[in-house]
Structure 1
Amino acid sequence: MYATERQGRIAEGIATQGRVSVVELASSLGVTTETIRRDLDALENAGLLRRVHGGAIAPRRASLVEPSLDERFGMAGTAKAAIAARALEMIGRGYRGAVLIDAGSTTGALATLLPGHVAENQANVDVVTHAVPIAHVLSAVPGIDLTVVGGQVRGLTAAAVGASTVHAIENLRSDLAFVGVNGISADFGLSTPDPGEAAVKSAIVRGARRVVVLADSSKFGVESLVRFGRLEDVDILVTDENPDAALARTLDEAGVEVWLA
């Protein structure tokens, strides 16, 4: 197989799977790992991938890549709505409890569905959030008592961050926390590009009795700059596709339930 053919196969794998492994590519293409590494270097120089330990990932999965909230709402919108609806099964008929909703587009989809879900199930929920768009959606909704945690608002995500935000959340014990992620991987856990958002997410995870992560499959294998939680911190992962074998195995070992939307 010529180098151009190999590199075309590698680029196709990146486009469809989001990441590739040097060892797996060498085995499937019948060449040495050194040859694959040279191919990956050439493709990285062409801007088609980003090298990481043991392989490569799509350029959009780089550690500091963070789409705006508006861009996120436009990505996998149908999947996010389905994930949000599935996650709301945690709030059953007659539910009474405190729920902390993290900032993000999938958690935003959950907030949009929450008023109707609360009314249908005759639930009464104390909601806490640091996300301005979510607070706007849930203000003055019957059956929802809303508390908004303040702080410095990031323009990119419209979420409050900073020491005062973290301190306020650290003093809360929610029954449920719905958490968004930029990345979830077997090796690195839960991650996000911004240190300020990571600090808030970490406080949310530490303070919740049950942690429900909402993540579409594009987040699998992504390792953003800052880790804010381990897989062991998660009770339930709600997603739209089964994780790959390595991530599925690690989730199972960590005791995480995987719910498919």
Structure 2
Amino acid sequence: MSRVNRYERLNALLELLAERGRIEVDEIAEELSASAATIRRDLDHLAGQQLLTRTRGGAVAHAVSYDLPLRYKSVRHADEKQRIGARAAALASRGSVVGLNGGTTATEVARALATRPDLHETGSETALTVVTNALNIANELAVRPQVKLVVTGGVARPQSYELIGPLGTKILDELTVDVTFLGVDGIDPVAGAAAHHEGEASINRLLAARARKVVVVADSSKIGARAFARICAVEELNVLVTDVGAAMEDVRRFEERGIEVIRV
């Protein structure tokens, strides 16, 4: 692995810890082309933020179900997520109402929508209405004059910046959405779409239920993965936008369930 900067290294450390549950300083130092002293300092820094527990030779995750804060999830599969975001954004028609939940891939959809050239040629006209429960997406879109932004209520979840809880459902119950783009923690042709946190799954389920069309945006690492709380059944989904790393056998299984699969 080529040498990376500190931010990328912190991301990589947490992602590796999420995958393995335990990491050792010497092994990780070699993988990340960094000195053992540097890795120790990084682990101490992350331990100070209570993101891991230090051990004599490395670190362990706090829990089996390890949910990284969103700010540490941006490095892995970044190119794939950007391609997915751009392709998914093209599915939204000018003038439509779009639903977006949280997560890194959904954020890339929001960024692609915000920079779509045809949505800038509006004058004072609203080109797109976006309904989201994600504070980071709302923050990025609030400065876009061509976007009418609707933010659900709720209690902010620090790990994902998503607003969850019954306050958000009151607003969503009153709205109709043309297309909802769902970022997920797992998507399976049998189990459907799922999230690690039940509160996120609940509000995401409603975002999907209020939409005429539901598009799951997920890189290939999420395909076949299962998470704690189901968002919706596979029969409630219309399109899956993923990357070319998705196995054709998995693609076929989704298509057999009536889902259009777009690989980018």
TM-score (norm 2): 0.70
Equivalent position amino acid for 1:141 in 2: R
Distance in 2 (CA, whole Å) between partners of 1:66 and 1:222 is 15
Partner of 2:68: 67
3-state SS of paired residue (1:100):
strand
Kept after mapping to 2: 8 A contact 1:118/1:143: no
Question: 1:119 offset after TM fit, Å?
Answer: 4.4
Distance in 2 (CA, whole Å) between partners of 1:86 and 1:186 is 21
Q: Deviations over 1:153-181 (max 9, x none)?
A: 00100110001112322322100111100
Partner of 1:105: 104
Question: Is 1:235 aligned to residue 238 of structure 2?
Answer: yes
3-state SS of paired residue (1:212):
strand
Partner of 1:192: 195
Question: 1:120 offset after TM fit, Å?
Answer: 5.2
Question: 1:186 offset after TM fit, Å?
Answer: 2.4
Question: Is 1:176 aligned to residue 179 of structure 2?
Answer: yes
Question: Is 1:134 aligned to residue 137 of structure 2?
Answer: yes
Question: 1:195 offset after TM fit, Å?
Answer: 0.6
Q: Deviations over 1:118-142 (max 9, x none)?
A: 5457471011111000001001312
- Aligned-residue Cα RMSD (Å) equals 2.3
Q: 2:259 aligns with which of 246, 256, 261?
A: 256
Percent of pairs with identical residues: 29
Kept after mapping to 1: 8 A contact 2:246/2:263: no
Question: 1:97 offset after TM fit, Å?
Answer: 1.2
Distance in 1 (CA, whole Å) between partners of 2:117 and 2:89 is 9
Q: Deviations over 1:199-254 (max 9, x none)?
A: 01110111100111100000011111111111111111100026435532331122
Distance in 2 (CA, whole Å) between partners of 1:172 and 1:143 is 20
Equivalent position amino acid for 2:116 in 1: H
Aligned pairs, how many? 201
Distance in 2 (CA, whole Å) between partners of 1:100 and 1:63 is 31
Q: Which one has a larger percent helix, Structure 1 or Structure 2?
A: 1
Distance in 1 (CA, whole Å) between partners of 2:204 and 2:85 is 18
Kept after mapping to 2: 8 A contact 1:220/1:243: yes
- Aligned ranges for residues 3-152 of structure 1 at < 5 Å? 64-92=65-93, 95-117=94-116, 119=118, 122=121, 124-152=127-155
Runs of 5+ unmatched residues, structure 2: 1-18, 20-60
Distance in 1 (CA, whole Å) between partners of 2:240 and 2:195 is 16
Partner of 1:29: none
The change in CA–CA distance for 1:176 and 1:70 in structure 2 (over 3 A counts) is: same
Distance in 2 (CA, whole Å) between partners of 1:90 and 1:233 is 17
Question: 1:71 offset after TM fit, Å?
Answer: 2.0
Distance in 2 (CA, whole Å) between partners of 1:247 and 1:196 is 28
Distance in 1 (CA, whole Å) between partners of 2:121 and 2:92 is 10
Partner of 2:218: 215
Distance in 2 (CA, whole Å) between partners of 1:146 and 1:73 is 24
Distance in 2 (CA, whole Å) between partners of 1:187 and 1:254 is 9
After the TM superposition, list the runs of 4 or more consecutive aligned residues in structure 1 that deviate by more than 2 angstroms. Answer: 62-67, 118-123, 241-250
